Every structure is written in C-alpha cells, then in structure tokens.
Amino acid sequence: MPPLTLTLAGSTDTTITRSFDRPLLSAALELADGRLLHVIDLHLRAPLAAAIPGGKAAGAWRSTAAWAEGLHHATLLRSAQALEARLLVERIFDAEPEALVAVCGDFNAEGEAAALEILAAPTAKTGLTAQAGRALVPLDPGLPPERRFSLRHAGRALMVDHILVSPALFAGYRRIDSLNAHLIDDCARAAGREPGSFHAPLVAEFAV
C-alpha cells in the first residue's frame, strides 16, 4: 500500500506534508508445512525535532517554539509509521486469523510509548477481548532486567529495538537474546565516526 502522509499546518501559516523516509519492509516466508511467516521490519522516526520551514538558521534552531514544533512533527511521524504497520497487521489477520506475524526493528521507543502501544494493541488497553488474538506480544520483557537494552545513549541503557509477535507465533516462542555485551555509548562512537550500527541485534528462537 502507499505510505501514509501527514499534512500539518505550521506556525508560519505554511502547510507541511510529511512522508516516511524509511518505508517498512514486509515479507511472507513459506515454511516447510506450507504456512506463511509474515515478517515486518521497521525503522521508526527518531525522537529528534524534524526540520520545519524557516525553523533553522546556519544549522541552529531559531527559537524554542520552532524546535518544539519540529519535535511534535517527529512524534506524529513515529506514531503514523506505527499505525501504517498496525493496519498492515490487521489486513494479515483479516486473511489469516491465526497468522504467524513478527514485527521487528528499531522502534525508537520504550515502555508504553504510543508507537509501541499502537503496534501491540494490547487487550488491556483496547478492551476488545473478542479480538485478543490480534494483539501482538512484545518479547523483550523476557530478558533479565540487567540485559534488557539494545542501545547505550548519553550514559543510559535503552530498549528501543523490539520484536512483537502474534499469539500463534508466540505459542512456539523459546527464547530471546540481546547481543549487547560489547555496546559502547553511541555518543562516543559518533564522535569517532566508527562504522556499523549503534544498536545490539535481537535474536529470537521459535519452534514452528
């Protein structure tokens, strides 16, 4: 489907249309028994203020109001990307009520952030017990608290990468690991311009 776009009224009376610079990737993998494993890979918008017309001069923000508006736009983009993926998951469930689905990637979000809740649609929040089979289960709570992180940023250990799975796939879930033993702070790495990702890979094992 075409990506969602956002049309926003800016503070300068300029209409701003936002589209996604990192479209989601979706694949359906056929398993040995003929079932399909649906994998959706995401990279949601980072929590950094988005550029707005006239908001910056020589690379610096002109005002706190402009910065706040840019951050608001970034937040809306992240939620809209999550909604796009959730609607795709809904279409998969429409066709396959017991679908094997994994939504994974860099969500740039932790805990009960709106983007995570939009994607997971937990029954405790939706109240739709009759559609509990459409809620997605986050796997990272299965990690020990001291190892539950995928990024080190400005001295903090953050869990911003996730794997969410459908109940049918969760039935075969065995384990998850975050390969974060050798992560260093991304601020330090950025200063040294070292190649490679700042994020730890997440590895999940299933019996399907």
What number of CA atoms fall less than 13 Å from residue 109's CA on the CB side? 27
94-136 per-position pLDDT tens digit: 999 999 999 999 998 888 789 999 999 999 989 989 898 899 9
Q: What percent of the chain has pLDDT over 90?
A: 56
Instruction: Say if domain 6-206 classifies as CATH 3.60.10.
Output: yes
For the chain, the straight-line distance linking the first and the last C-alpha, in angstroms and rounded, comes to: 29
Q: Report pTM.
A: 0.85
Which is more confident, 61 or 53?
Answer: 61
Q: Please name the residues in contact with 134: beta carbons below 8 A apart, sequence gap of 6 or more.
A: 89, 90, 93, 121, 128, 166
More confident residue, 54 or 42: 42
How many whole angstroms separate alpha carbon 62 and alpha carbon 117? 34
What was the pLDDT predicted at 1? 43
The DSSP-derived string for 38-66 is EEEEEEPPPSSPPP-TT-EETTEES-HHH
pLDDT of residue 203: 96
